[in-house]
């Protein structure tokens, strides 16, 4: 679906690229979300677990920044992960004002099972692109995401 905007060629080209990017991301995410839904996880919950699983404990604000989430949304995500016993917020011993989020043993077991399947699913989705196209897409998305040329 292309834009119906009748602006300058630059605007139309940018809008068409934006629409294609969003539609592709939503389409891939929708297909990948099916396995997460089977595990009763939202995309946000899976992202938080994945970060904790691979990066280790971190403060909620750091986790929110990594996942491009608001503090309010991160609170909701963490509340739900705690309710299901998959993550826990703990006071830091050296500064009791600060909290750190940890993946629980149950969360680690879930990710031990779920993440390899997710990685295979992502590889299958991206398999429609060549290796070089995947690398080009990664580079282009990074440039677009940072707003800076590499």
The tens-digit pLDDT sequence of the chain (150 residues) is: 777 777 888 998 899 999 999 999 999 999 998 888 888 999 999 999 999 999 999 999 999 999 999 989 999 999 999 999 999 999 888 877 889 999 999 999 999 999 999 999 999 999 999 999 999 999 999 999 888 876
Question: Taking a C-beta distance cutoff of 8 angstroms, is the pair 45, 53 a contact?
Answer: no
Residue pair 138/88 in contact (Cβ under 8 Å)? The answer is no
CATH number of 39-138: 1.10.10.10
pTM, entire model: 0.84
Distance from chain centroid for Cα 114 = 15
Token output for 38: 């089977």
Q: From start to end of the chain, where are the E strands?
A: 87-91, 99-103
Task: Tell me the helices (H) and strands (E) count for the chain, helix number first.
Answer: 6, 2
Helix axis angle, 43-55 to 105-126, nearest 10° = 110
Looking at residue 150, its pLDDT comes to 63
């Amino acid at each position: 679906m292309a834009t119906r905007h009748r602006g300058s060629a630059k605007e139309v080209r940018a809008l068409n690229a934006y629409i294609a990017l969003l539609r592709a991301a939503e389409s891939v995410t929708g297909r990948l979300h099916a396995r997460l839904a089977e595990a009763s996880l939202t995309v946000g919950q899976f992202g938080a677990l994945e970060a904790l699983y691979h990066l280790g404990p971190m403060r909620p604000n750091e986790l929110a920044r990594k996942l491009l989430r608001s503090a309010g949304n991160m609170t909701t995500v963490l509340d739900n992960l705690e309710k299901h016993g998959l993550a826990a917020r703990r006071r830091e011993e050296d500064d009791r004002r600060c909290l750190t989020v940890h993946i629980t043993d149950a969360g680690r077991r879930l990710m031990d099972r779920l993440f390899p399947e997710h990685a295979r699913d992502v590889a299958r989705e991206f398999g429609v692109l060549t290796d070089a196209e995947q690398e080009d897409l990664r580079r282009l998305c990074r440039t677009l995401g940072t707003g800076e040329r590499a």
